[in-house]
Amino acid sequence: MKIKLFILVMALTGSLPVRAQGSGEQFYKELARTSSEIETLSGSFTQTKEFRSPDVKVVSKGTFRYARNREIRFDYTVPYEMSIVVDDLTVKITTREKTNTYPLKDQRNAMAEMARIMNYCMKGLLHELKAGYDLTYTGDGAYHRVLVKNQKDDPGNAFDRIDLKFAREHLALEEMVISEKSGYITTYIFGNLAVNVVR
């Protein structure tokens, strides 16, 4: 299975923007604090991939599990079975036919970027992405929203933007929309969350 399939599967995070620096910084600090208390997080997801034609959509469903300092795992059950496991070093994609493992270190591709952003998001270290990405925070009623864009307009960048929506009440990531430069849009909706915290 090629890296392009991973991109297909992953690409598997009207109010006025809040301009005050403090509100964004406060959100990042609270996200880091809350995430540091999480040992494991699991739930379900629905992924909708919209192709160039607006009436062509592929909907996938499954479960996910995050284990702190170990891995993020997506187990797809619909329309077919497949697993994607991301840790700090690799992405492993398993289908019925085979398992492929891709190293993340020193790679400049969409797979590495998606894995890095998801990993930082789950760990609550979103603010650390500022070294390579532009982050725009918006307070929006019941939600915190963060727009992630590459700092450099590199033709090799596969995505144009990633929109993240966190619930204000418990800071859980509820929606991730990935807009690719190719025109494809992939939306993840996360639900049925179960959290185990550090005792």
- Full pLDDT tens readout for the chain, 199 residues: 333 333 333 333 322 333 333 488 999 999 999 888 889 999 999 999 998 776 789 999 999 999 988 899 999 999 999 999 988 888 889 999 999 888 876 555 555 666 778 788 888 899 998 888 899 999 878 899 999 998 877 776 778 899 999 988 888 889 999 888 888 888 999 999 998 888 6
User: What is the tally of structural domains in the chain?
Assistant: 1
How does 64-83 read in b/e, with b if 16+ C-beta sit within 10 Å? bbbbbeebbbbbbeeeeebe
Strand (E) or helix (H) holding 119? helix 110-123
d(C-alpha 105, C-alpha 76), whole Å:
26
Place of tokens 């109010």: 15
Burial class (CB in 10 A: 0-12, 13-18, 19+), 112: middle
CATH number of the domain that residue 118 is part of: 2.50.20.10
* Residue 122: predicted pLDDT: 82
Q: Which residues contact 172 (CB under 8 A, 6 or more apart)?
A: 166, 190, 193
Structural domain of 161: 3-197
The first and second tokens of residue 101, run together, are: 């493992």
Question: Contact 108/124 with Cβ under 8 angstroms?
Answer: no
* Residue 111: predicted pLDDT: 58
pTM: 0.81
The first and second tokens of residue 161, run together, are: 């933007």
Q: Phi, psi at residue 8, to the nearest 5°?
A: -60, -40
**Nearest-5° Cα angle at 142, 138 to 144:** 30
